[in-house]
Amino acid sequence: MTQPASDFIRQRIKQDLDSGLVEGAIVTRFPPEPNGYLHIGHAKSICLNFGVAEEFGGYTYLRFDDTNPLKESDTYVEAIQQDVAWLGFEWSDRLTNASDYFDALYARAVELIDGGKAYVCSLTGEEIRQSRGTLTEPGKESPYRGRSVEENRELFERMRAGEFADGEQVLRAKIDMASPNINMRDPVLYRIRHATHQRTGDKWVIYPMYDFTHCICDALEGITHSLCTLEFEDHRPLYDWVLDNINMNFHPPQIEFSRLGLEYTVLSKRLLSQLVTQGLVEGWDDPRMPTLAGLRRRGVTPGAIREFCRRVGVTKQDNRVEMSLLEFCIRRDLEGTVRRGMGVLNPLKVRISNYRDDGEVLEGPWHAQNPDLGRRELPFGAELYIEREDFTDAPPKKWRRLSPGALVRLRYAYIIRCDEVVRDARGEIQELVCSYIPESKSGSDTSGLKPNGVVHWVAADTAVAVEIRLYGRLFKVPDPGAATLVDDIDPASLTIRSGYVEPAIHHSDDDHFQFERLGYFFRDPERANTYNRTVSLRDSWKPG
RNA sequence: UGGGGAUUGGUGUAAUGGUAGCACGACUGACUCUGAAUCAGUUAGUAUAGGUUCAAAUCCUAUAUCCCCAGCCA
């Protein structure tokens, strides 16, 4: 069923293996910066990196790209590990940090200085920006570009020793201020940051930049294929330049693919972080969030996410995948194995006038098509709740639910007829008075009656009152932008209902359920007696 | 308007000079004690214009559109 993916990256790896360019194991890495929670876009990268290593017989590093102590923290480090493990991938002992290599990195920087390939620049940040040029104009060389090797070594050592304040000096690569690629216009390699690092503490006051760090870490770890997203394409020449200008006998190729785009949400740590910080959602694990923590809390399974990533594929094309594909993957993963029971989201009381309540307990399978899941007891009663939407005074054509005078089957129970609609002073429907057909009991129906349809229900005296949370799209538009983020939020994305579930659901050890006819629900791990709707069932009913 | 990328049904992708295929979606119908699932079917595409070739989504030349880059972020 699940065919092995074959995208341009896997084809390339296969080719590298066949040609002997790469000998032995394929080594990849997933290198998040611990400055936020992982989202489903990261899942694509995780599935790719861990996936190819698995397929081609290799391994994958989980490497924290922790070169900026101002933005990073241990809480993210832990959350990221939890998410990757939850997705089902193992890094075993290959968990590394860019900061593990700070000493090696420093030595490499000195190597560059010694080779006349890097210099300490004393320009201010503003001056550097001014002299960088623009997209169409070349930059101007720094007046400090010609410093001697000795002077650079001394200055760099003093930077490391903490003799300068933040921003006073930087180490820059000496490349080409006229390069059409702005990344090559003497990029900053090291900056001064008097900040405590979550791992190295106060040992360092200078921290290496991404472009200098990443390629060297890749090489040191023997990464055979360094996979990253498209926005780093322009950085590849710099990645290569660094490795070409130090004495390194290993040079991974950087291969870029497009990031995942998903309708009606945002997939950028910056924007997601903003939603959390501004209190627009309840947290990183708000079930409306596309974060792995949010998806998990909503009830989305790792298998569904992996299948989604597989189906989305890996290319260099910009994309915005429809939510329906994710929903399909979720339903498919839950379909065969999750228990099915009854829950009522919007209760309407039904009184069965001719039923004598004697504690009758009915029974039904947990899954009509999967008997392995067993059966559960279903207490009946003279007072029930059905879904308010399952009754109407004015049934449209092909209405298969309840209406005055109509027959409907209560799932796994009896056929009932609606005899009377009781309303309050305002005309709101208060309750339905129905009669049941005693000989129509599910499994031994001798009534010969053909009801309109089947409706779910719970018995009023045994049902468990629960809170049910329904989630819609977080945004009103398919492509919410950074500029209009707040306005684009759909205030109706969360609906809280006071409903009921049958007792067997309440007492089950499972936490995933299908509420028949309504969708898949997940018991909230934090909030007691609360069920999150993971995804609704497909609904092809069109009135009219 | 400098540089780097990308354009195949509504959406995501496959086809690597030789039958434009798959999936999601949408739409029909069958079945149904879930308007689900399942089953059967329908739908719609190579950005544009030239060229090379027996043959072009694929190669060439223009054009158009979209994305990324001017952090001491990653």
| pLDDT of res. A18 | 94
| pLDDT of res. A543 | 76
Say yes or no to pLDDT of A340 above 60.
yes
Give the separation between CA A456 and CA A347, rounded to whole angstroms.
11
Torsional sign, CA A147, A151, A156, A161: negative
What integer best gives the mean pLDDT of chain A?
Answer: 97
The spacing between the Cα labelled CA in A472 and the C1' in B24, in angstroms, equals 19
* Strand B contacted by A260 CB (< 7 A): no
Helices marked H in A88-124: 102-114
How far apart, in Å, are the Cα atoms of A48 and each of A59, A174, A537? 12, 35, 30
Say yes or no to pLDDT of A343 above 80.
yes
Q: Are A17 and A153 found together in one domain?
A: yes
Give the separation between CA A173 and CA A515, rounded to whole angstroms.
61
Q: Are A243 and A351 found together in one domain?
A: no
Query: Closest nucleotide (CA of A263 to C1')?
Result: B11
Considering only residues 424-453 of chain A, list those whose CB is below 7 Å from strand B.
441-443, 445, 453
Torsional sign, CA A417, A423, A428, A430: negative
Say if the ipTM goes beyond 0.90.
Answer: yes
Q: Each residue of A230-255: pLDDT tens digit?
A: 999 999 999 999 999 999 999 999 99
What is the full DSSP assignment across A264-297? TS---HHHHHHHHHTTSSS-TT-TTS-BHHHHHH
| pLDDT of res. A542 | 82
* CATH number of the domain enclosing A34: 3.40.50.620
What are the b/e assignments for A512-529, b being 16+ CB within 10 Å? bbbbbbbbbbbbbeeeee
| pLDDT of res. A3 | 55
Would A446 be classed as within a structural domain? yes
Count CA atoms within 13 Å of residue A365 on its CB side.
10
Asked if A184 contacts A238 with a C-beta cutoff of 8 angstroms, the reply is yes
Say yes or no to pLDDT of A4 above 80.
no
Give the separation between CA A182 and CA A10, rounded to whole angstroms.
31
Query: Crossing angle of helices A40-55/A302-312, nearest 10°?
Result: 80
The spacing between the Cα labelled CA in A325 and the C1' in B9, in angstroms, equals 16
* CATH number of the domain enclosing A453: 2.40.240.10
Query: Closest nucleotide (CA of A125 to C1')?
Result: B72
Asked if A282 contacts A275 with a C-beta cutoff of 8 angstroms, the reply is no
Q: Each residue of A458-517: pLDDT tens digit?
A: 999 999 999 999 999 999 999 999 999 999 999 999 999 999 999 999 999 999 999 999
Would A2 be classed as within a structural domain? no
Say yes or no to pLDDT of A327 above 70.
yes
Structural domain harbouring A36: 8-257
Q: Each residue of A156-175: pLDDT tens digit?
A: 999 999 999 999 999 999 99
Total domains in chain A come to 2
% of chain A residues with pLDDT over 70 = 99
Say yes or no to pLDDT of A386 above 90.
yes
| pLDDT of res. A484 | 92
When pLDDT is averaged across residues A417-443 and rounded to a whole number, the result is 97
Q: Each residue of A33-82: pLDDT tens digit?
A: 999 999 999 999 999 999 999 999 999 999 999 999 999 999 999 999 99
Asked if A34 contacts A72 with a C-beta cutoff of 8 angstroms, the reply is yes
The spacing between the Cα labelled CA in A194 and the C1' in B57, in angstroms, equals 56
When pLDDT is averaged across residues A89-104 and rounded to a whole number, the result is 98
Q: Are A231 and A375 found together in one domain?
A: no
DSSP single-letter state for residue A22: S
- Domain termination site, one of A463, A485, A520: A463
Residue A57: left if φ>0, alpha if ψ -120 to 50, beta else—which one?
A: left
Would A264 be classed as within a structural domain? no
Task: Specify the amino acid at residue A386.
Answer: I
When pLDDT is averaged across residues A509-531 and rounded to a whole number, the result is 98
Q: Are A251 and A347 found together in one domain?
A: no
- Domain termination site, one of A226, A257, A288: A257
Q: How far is CA A151 from the centre of its chain?
A: 49
Task: Specify the amino acid at residue A536.
Answer: S
Would A456 be classed as within a structural domain? yes
Considering only residues 16-45 of chain A, list those whose CB is below 7 Å from strand B.
31, 33
Q: Are A104 and A231 found together in one domain?
A: yes
- Domain termination site, one of A445, A463, A481: A463
Would A122 be classed as within a structural domain? yes
Torsional sign, CA A511, A513, A518, A520: positive
Residue A485's nearest CA partner among A281, A183, A209 is A281
pLDDT band at A5 (very low <50, low <70, confident <90, very high): confident
Query: Closest nucleotide (CA of A189 to C1')?
Result: B72
Would A307 be classed as within a structural domain? no
Residue A41's nearest CA partner among A315, A266, A317 is A266
Q: How far is CA A270 from the centre of its chain?
A: 14
Would A229 be classed as within a structural domain? yes
Would A483 be classed as within a structural domain? no
Say yes or no to pLDDT of A2 above 60.
no
| pLDDT of res. A1 | 37
Say yes or no to pLDDT of A278 above 80.
yes
Structure-block tokens of residue A516:
């028949």
